[in-house]
Amino acid sequence: MQRITVETTPIEGQKPGTSGLRKKTRVFMGAHYLENFVQAIWTGIGGVEGKTLVLGGDGRYFNDRAAQVILRMAAAAGVRKVIVGRDALLSTPAASNLIRLRGSDGGIILSASHNPGGPDEDFGVKFNMPNGGPAPEDVTARIFEATKRVKSYDIIETQDIDLSKPGTERLGAMEIEIVDPVSDYAALMESLFDFDAIRDLLGSGFRIRFDAMHAVTGPYARVILEDKLGAPPGSVVHAEPLPDFGGGHPDPNPIWAKELMDVMFGADAPDFGAASDGDGDRNMIVGWGIYVTPSDSLAVLAANAHLAPGYASGLKGVARSMPTSRALDRVADKLGLDCYETPTGWKFFGNLLDDGRVTLCGEESAGTGSDHVREKDGLWAVLLWLNILAAKRQSVAEIMTAHWNEFGRNYYSRHDYEGVEPEKANALVDELRDGLATLPGKKFSGLVVETADEFAYDDPVDGSRSERQGIRIGFSGGARIVFRLSGTGTVGATLRVYLENVETDPARLHRAQQEALAPVIAAADAIAGIARHTGRTEPDVMT
C-alpha cells in the first residue's frame, strides 16, 4: 500500500447542475474524470484532512468502483473516517440522515437519480453539506472553479476494501465504518409516523403495491413496509436493486412506472400504489383508479401532516419550487402558513429548513420532504400518505375529492421536450426573454397575460441571489405557464413546460388533466413557438 500523486490536467465541463455532476457513465469511467472531480470537491470545501465523511450511492453501474476510488483518495487526503453504506449503498435521504445523525462533515452521494443506469447510461456525483443537504450554489461554484485548475491528486494504491459486511476496516490511518444502509433510516421513519395505526390499516385488508423499480429503495421498502408494517410479502415489487435498474428508467411517473399505473387502473387494483426513483428521493402516489400529481400530493400532505405524530404540533411554514403548482399556496393561505417559492432543486430549501422557517417542502418533479432530513424523501412521502389514510380511513380518491372541494383544484401538467439541440433550446429561451415586456395585456387562446418575468430568487436567510431560474407567464384567472431548461440531463437540452390552470367550480373538478389544460397548452406554443424552434409538435413526456 502506498500513497502516490498522479499528475492530471483539467477536464472541461465538470460543472455541477441542478443536483451534482451528471454525465454518461463512460465519461465518468474515463481517465482521471472521477478523480479530478473528487479532488475538486476536496479543494472546493477547503480540504478534508481530519474530517469525517459519509459515502454511498444508488447502486447503479460503476457505483462500487467509484466508491473504492473515493475511499482511496479520501485516505490519501487525510480524511479521518468514512462512514459507508454496506456495498456502498445508501439512498439519498438515508445518506442525508446519516450525515446529520453522525454530525459528519458532509458526504458524497453517487447517483444520477431517475436517469437510467448502465455502461451506456448515466452516472453522477454529488457533495452534501454537514446539514445533510446538497451543496449550495457558492460551494458548487467553488468546486467547478477547482475543476478548472486541478493539476494532480493523491491516491492510495491498494486492494479493494471489502464493503460487503457491516464492521470496521482501515485504509492506512483512515477508519472505514461500514453500516447497514437501512436501519438508521427505518428508525427515523418510526419516530415520525404512527406505525401501529398503519399496521392496523394494512391488517384490515387495505392492499398496497410499492414499485421499487429495481433501484435503491427495494431493501428499505421491504424492511419498512413488509417486515415492520406487516404488508404481505410481495407488496414491494422489483425490490432487487440492479446496476442497470433491470433496463428500466427509474423515474416514478405515469410513463416510466406504467406497469404500476396499469395495475392501479385495472380490475383487481390494490388500494394504494407508490413508486420511487433510482436514489429513493422521489415518489409517485396513485390510488385505485386515480393518479395524484406531485403538486397535489404536496398540498394534501401539507393539509394533513398534523395527523402524523412527527407533525402533530403543526407546520412552521411550507415551500415549493417555482414551477410547482400553487395548490400548496391555497393550503398555506387557509392554514395561515408562510409559503416560500424557490428555484428548482432541493439545495434551495436547505436554508429555509435550517432556519426553522418551513417544515414541509416539495417539487412538481415528484419530490416531497420535510425538516427530518435535508433531501427530498420518497419513502417518507409514502409513509405520510399511509399515516393519513390510516387516520382518515378514506380512499385516495375520496381524499382528493374532499381536498379539491375544500381548496379548489390546480390542474397541472409538465411537458418535456427531450434531446433538443442546445442552440435551438437556447434560442427559444432567449427569444422568450427578449419578448417578456411585450406580453402583458396580450390574449392567447382566450387567456389574457397579466404578468411575464424571469424568476430570480433572493434567499431570505443568507441574502444570496440566483438569477435566470425560469420564465413565468401568469394569466388573469390564475392560469400559469413556466418555461425552463433542465439542469440534470446528459444529452442535448430538455425543455420543460409547466402548465397550470385553476378550477373552483365544484362541477368541473373531475375533468381529464390534458383536456382541462388545453387552452394553456395552446397558449404555451403560441407564446414560445415551441414547434417553430424545435420542430417538435408533441412533447416526449407528459407528467
The catalytic residue among 96, 104, 111, 113 is 113
Cα separations in angstroms, 236 against 115, 297, 397, 440, 441: 21, 21, 22, 50, 52
Residue 293 touching ligand VG1 (CB under 6 A): no
Cα–Cα distance for residue pair 223/483, rounded to 1 Å:
40
- Site for ligand VG1 (CB under 6 A): which residue of 35, 105, 211, 281? 281
**Residue 58 interacting partner from Co ion, ligand VG1, none (CB closer than 5 to 8 Å by kind):** none
Q: Segment near ligand VG1 (CB under 6 A), from 62-70, 217-225, 275-283, 348-356?
A: 275-283
Residue 251 touching Co ion (CB under 5 A): no
- Site for ligand VG1 (CB under 6 A): which residue of 487, 492, 519, 529? 487
Residue 68 touching ligand VG1 (CB under 6 A): no
Q: Segment near ligand VG1 (CB under 6 A), from 49-57, 142-150, 482-490, 535-543?
A: 482-490
Cβ pair 33, 78 in contact under 8 A: no
Cα separations in angstroms, 535 against 422, 487, 496, 530: 13, 22, 15, 7
Phi/psi of residue 217, nearest 5 degrees: -75, -10
- Site for ligand VG1 (CB under 6 A): which residue of 3, 8, 15, 18? 18
C-beta of 384 vs 479, nearer to Co ion: 384
Residue 375 touching Co ion (CB under 5 A): no
**Residue 18 interacting partner from Co ion, ligand VG1, none (CB closer than 5 to 8 Å by kind):** ligand VG1
**Residue 19 interacting partner from Co ion, ligand VG1, none (CB closer than 5 to 8 Å by kind):** ligand VG1
**Minimum distance, C-beta of residue 104 to ligand VG1, in the bound complex (Å):** 20
Q: Name residue, grid cell 417555482.
A: 322
Site for ligand VG1 in 75-94 (CB under 6 A): none
- Transcribe 245-260 into DSSP letters: GGGS----STTTTHHH
Residue 295 touching ligand VG1 (CB under 6 A): no
**Minimum distance, C-beta of residue 91 to Co ion, in the bound complex (Å):** 9
Q: Which amino acid is at 87?
A: D
**Minimum distance, C-beta of residue 57 to ligand VG1, in the bound complex (Å):** 12
The pairing of strands 174-179 and 81-89 is parallel
Residue 10 touching ligand VG1 (CB under 6 A): no
**Residue 496 interacting partner from Co ion, ligand VG1, none (CB closer than 5 to 8 Å by kind):** ligand VG1
Residue 279 touching Co ion (CB under 5 A): yes
Which run of H or of E encompasses 275?
A: strand 272-276
Residue 496 touching ligand VG1 (CB under 6 A): yes
- Site for ligand VG1 (CB under 6 A): which residue of 35, 58, 154, 277? 277
C-beta of 78 vs 487, nearer to ligand VG1: 487
Which residue pairs, CB below 8 angstroms and at least 24 apart, start in 445-450? 445/519, 445/520, 445/522, 445/523, 445/526, 446/519, 447/475, 447/476, 447/477, 447/479, 447/519, 447/520, 447/523, 448/475, 448/476, 449/473, 449/474, 449/475, 450/474, 450/475, 450/476
C-beta of 206 vs 256, nearer to ligand VG1: 256
The helix-helix angle for 92-101 and 183-192 (nearest 10°) equals 90
- Transcribe 404-448 into DSSP letters: HHHH-EEEEEEEEEEEE-HHHHHHHHHHHHHHGGG-TT-EETTEE
Cα–Cα distance for residue pair 377/61, rounded to 1 Å:
22
Tell me 139's DSSP state.
H
Contact track, Co ion, 98-117, x by CB under 5 A: ---------------x----
Which run of H or of E encompasses 169?
A: strand 167-171
Cβ pair 52, 81 in contact under 8 A: yes
**Residue 334 grid coordinates:** 387557509
Is 104 one of the catalytic residues? no
Cα–Cα distance for residue pair 252/103, rounded to 1 Å:
31
**Residue 132 grid coordinates:** 445533510
Q: Segment near ligand VG1 (CB under 6 A), from 202-210, 227-235, 277-285, 382-390?
A: 277-285
**Residue 104 grid coordinates:** 459528519
Q: Segment near ligand VG1 (CB under 6 A), from 70-78, 176-184, 338-346, 439-447?
A: 338-346
C-beta of 271 vs 375, nearer to Co ion: 375
Residue 281 touching Co ion (CB under 5 A): yes
Which residues of the chain form contacts with ligand VG1 (CB under 6 A)?
18-19, 113-114, 277, 281-282, 321, 344-346, 363, 365, 367, 486-488, 496
> Contact residues for Co ion (CB under 5 A)?
113, 277, 279, 281-282
Residue numbers annotated as active site: 113
